[in-house]
Amino acid sequence: MTPVDAGSRQSAASRAADFAASDMFARLFREGMDLVEETASYLDGPGREDAKRLGRTGALSYAAESMALTTQLMQCASWLLTQRAVSEGDMAPAEAAEQRYRLTPSRLKEAEWPAGDDPCPPRLADLTVRARALHERLSRLDRSIFEGEGAPAPEGNPVADQLNKLNAAFGG
């Protein structure tokens, strides 16, 4: 690891520690975990009834969407729990900056529900929209914390060099 990499990693670790100790994180953690619980309750209860009312094609779409929703929320929960571990001193901020603890970009596409009599159940649609919004918020935070302003610019990149000079000149 070069000295620049070490400094960048330290900066990311510092940002991770500051974020994990913030009131904003505490609220976000509760919001995220509440959504996980709400989704689990729906899928285990009323969601089963919603799925039974669908035809074969709708039921397959429901199954695919609920699996994608569950996967996305588990990624969010894992990221939030990692940040909480930092907050509680159970994990070093530098460890939380490792790629294996980072939030992976969403590869989900919009749900494709079959035309006809099997529209997406409204509750599932609402949970999906909210989970995607949470994942996007956490992704932006992840990038900001771990790839933020302390990340080094590639050497020999004139555009990055110019941006660094502008940031330095204008207090970016």
pLDDT digits (tens, 9 = 90+) for 49-104: 999 999 888 899 999 999 999 999 999 999 999 999 999 999 998 898 888 998 88
The top-level CATH class assigned to 3-105+119-150 is mainly alpha
Q: Determine the pLDDT at residue 164.
A: 66
Residue 93's CB: how many other CB atoms inside 10 A? Answer: 23
What's the rounded Cα separation, in Å, for the pair 114 and 120? Answer: 9
Average pLDDT, the chain: 83
Q: Determine the pLDDT at residue 165.
A: 65
**37-53 CB burial, b ≥16 within 10 A, e <16:** ebbeebbeeebeebbee
pLDDT digits (tens, 9 = 90+) for 2-29: 443 555 555 878 888 888 899 999 999 9
| Ranges of each domain in the chain | 3-105+119-150
What's the rounded Cα separation, in Å, for the pair 172 and 152? Answer: 14
**162 is written with which tokens?**
């110019």
